[in-house]
Amino acid sequence: MALVRLVSSVRRMLQTPQWSFLPQVQLELLPGVHLPEVDADEVDDDALWHACPKSKVTRSRKRIRNNDPSKRLKNIVHLQDCEHCGNKKLRHRLCMGCFKKGEYFTA
């Protein structure tokens, strides 16, 4: 009895190639079915594959990825004292306090 069920299920699987794991092998076993020849250029034009996630990314995973220490703002380490007024300024920049007073143009 079990052998009859096994044989009938194998026949059904061979008759329905769309549910097959190996459709090429099963179609070759069927004598009346032939696959059409397809060029590689036609395959590229037929479908566009888009990236899509397999599951939703949770808020915690997203925050871990986005708040990585390498992506944070770096500390400014190139501060200097202004020669005229003593305020802090960035290296290779004008001191805005002295610039507004006009000391750079008079010195």
Q: Between these two residues, 25 and 96, which has the higher pLDDT value?
A: 96
* Averaged pLDDT for residues 75-83: 88
CA triple 37-39-43, angle to 5 deg: 110
User: 10 Å Cβ neighbour count for 19?
Assistant: 10
**pTM as predicted:** 0.31
Cα(6)–Cα(2) distance, rounded to whole angstroms?
A: 6
The whole-number pLDDT of residue 63 equals 94
> pLDDT per residue over 22-78, tens digit each?
555 555 556 666 656 656 555 555 556 778 888 999 999 999 999 998 988 888 888
Write down the domain spans for the chain. 1-32, 76-107
Cα(86)–Cα(105) distance, rounded to whole angstroms?
A: 18
SS3 assignment, position 35: coil
